[in-house]
Structure 1
Amino acid sequence: MCGRFTQRLSWEELHRLADLIGQPRNLAPRYNIAPTTQIEVLRPAETGGNELVQMRWGLVPGWWKKPLKDLPATFNARAETVAEKPMFRTAFKTRRCIIPASGFYEGTGKAGAKTPHYFSARSGEPLAFAALWEQAKHPGTGEPLTSATIIVGAANNWMNRFHDRQPVILDWRDANAWMRRDDPGALQRAPLEDSLNEWIVSTRVNKAGAGDDDASLVDPVETVLL
């Protein structure tokens, strides 16, 4: 699955890769993004092109009325069932988006003592996670609540050494097709075997919080730091 990722993004690069429109803004780097926090999401703009919008990571369907603390984990959606699951099927049909990421983390080893690994594109470009977004009302305040989820599928042979699941990563040339095509199922495939880099990073990434969100989290380490 994908429970931590990074966004060190450039507006100019997203403009080139994804037909990004709108007023350029500085994008604060994030190195330890955890579920339920705000993330940057690309979605189709009403006027054409694509817009970059901040959303809650963890999809809240439009029909959800209970407190958010009762919501099941919805930061990932399984590619095999996303078109049928009540939590995701409406968004999959009409509100597909892309979550751009500079990399993501997965852990190996026993629970409670996992070794974190960082994965990024060998090309140096941002990764394009296939994703869904939804518009709802906050069940507590009634305010508009926009949220998103990352679609995950079976790992390819290379990734399977670390985890049996991985985000569905799109080629940027397929970005508009994913967000606008009536039937995007064929695009939900594992990336090429040689598309990612991997290295071990500090176990500080296992902690979520403002005190553990800095650039050194993605630095390679020879031994896992405490």
Structure 2
Amino acid sequence: MCGRFTQAYTWAEVYAFLSVIGPARNLRARYNIAPTTQIDVLRIGDAGRELVPVRWGLVPLWWKKPLKELPATFNARAETVAEKPMFRSAFKSRRCIIPASGFYEWTGKPGAKTPHYFSAHDGRPLAFAGLWERWRDPETQEPVDSATIIVGPANAWMSAYHDRMPVILDWSDAGAWLAGERPGDLLCSPPEDALQEWIVSARVNRSGTGDDDPALIERTAAASQ
């Protein structure tokens, strides 16, 4: 799964890999992004590729209940995303990329979990395969754009830490994922040497803590710091 990640990159980095339209702007660096908060996603808009803020936790078009009753939809399983009612419509025609500078996973027993941070070996932003949807709140009629990160089985290297991981696209496959006819072909694990890992402060264990604090991703020898 992917339940916490970071977005700390520049507009220039995003543009270099994705040719985003629109004027350059400052992007807020975030280091402890949790579900139901806003994230930046790259999608195809009316005029081309656009980077926009959306809710993390996809709300399907047909959802009629309050958001508080929505089950967890911040991840979609690669094995079933094309068939599950929650995701199949978005998978067919509303795919997106979630640029990320890294993500967290935990090892150990409940109550003594050790947080690990994962990022690209070459330092580039990661490209998570995602889906987006536009829903209208039945009470206020306000539109809500939302997204989910697709996760698949961990590769052999990642399996030492967790049995699942985000589907990480090669940047050269961005166009094929966003608008190609065979997106399922891209739902595979990244190469074993794609990521690097280190232990970080246990402060990241608390959702909503340190979202603006770059110290959360600093290497530490003890998870209890």
The interval holding the TM-score normalised by the smaller chain is over 0.9
Q: Residue type of the partner of 2:117? A: Y
**In structure 1, what is the equivalent of residue 29 of structure 2?**
29
2:5 matched to which residue of 1? 5
Tell me which moved more, 29-38 or 182-191.
Answer: 182-191
Aligned to 1:131: 130
Aligned to 1:69, what secondary structure does the other structure show? helix
| 1:106 Cα deviation after fit | 0.2
Deviation at 1:85, TM superposition (A): 0.2
Write the letter of the residue equivalent to 1:5: F
Amino acid at match of 1:2: C
Matched position secondary structure for 1:170? coil
Do 1:204 and 1:212's aligned partners in 2 also have CA atoms closer than 8 Å? no
Corresponding position: 1:116 with 2:115? yes
Q: How large is the RMSD of aligned CA atoms in angstroms? A: 1.1
**Separation in 2 of the partners of 1:211 and 1:31?**
7
Describe how 1:87-106 pairs up with structure 2 within 5 A. Answer: 87-106=86-105
The 2-side partners of 1:111 and 1:128 are apart by: 30
Deviation (angstroms), 1:154? 0.2
Residue 210 of structure 1 deviates from its aligned partner by 5.0
Q: Distance in 2 between matches of 1:211 and 1:79?
A: 30
Tell me how far apart the structure 2 counterparts of residues 142 and 40 of structure 1 sit (CA, whole Å).
23
In the TM superposition, what is the alpha-carbon distance from 1:112 to its structure 2 partner?
A: 2.7
2:142 matched to 1:143? yes
Cα displacement (A) at 1:211: 4.5
1:139 Cα shift? 3.9
Deviation at 1:26, TM superposition (A): 0.2
Question: In 2, distance between residues paired with 1:166 and 1:8?
Answer: 20
CA contact (8 A) 1:36 1:58 kept: yes
Give the deviation of 1:212 after TM superposition. 5.2
- What is the number of residues matched between the two proteins? 225
Shift of 1:182: 1.7
SS at structure 2 position matched to 1:124: coil
What is the deviation of 1:120? 0.2
Where in structure 1 do 4 or more consecutive aligned residues deviate above 2 Å? 138-141, 210-213
User: Is 1:173–2:180 an aligned residue pair?
Assistant: no
Alignment-mate amino acid for residue 143 of structure 2: P
SS of the residue corresponding to residue 61 of structure 2 reads coil
The aligned counterpart of 1:15 is: 15
Deviates more, 1:11-20 or 1:30-39: 11-20
How has the CA–CA distance of structure 1 residues 65 and 202 changed in structure 2, closer, same or farther, with 3 Å as cutoff? Answer: same
- C-alpha separation between the residues in 2 aligned to 1:206 and 1:138? 31
SS in 1 for 2:2: coil
Identical residues among aligned pairs (%): 66
Contact 1:68–1:139 (CA under 8 A) maintained in structure 2:
no
Q: Deviations over 1:9-50 (max 9, x none)?
A: 1111111101111111100100000000000000013223x1
Deviation at 1:175, TM superposition (A): 0.4
Q: Which runs of 5+ in 2 are unaligned?
A: none
TM-score, with structure 1 as normaliser: 0.97
Aligned position for 1:76: 75
Partner amino acid for 1:11? W
Asked whether the 8 Å contact 1:96–1:179 carries over to 2, the reply is: yes
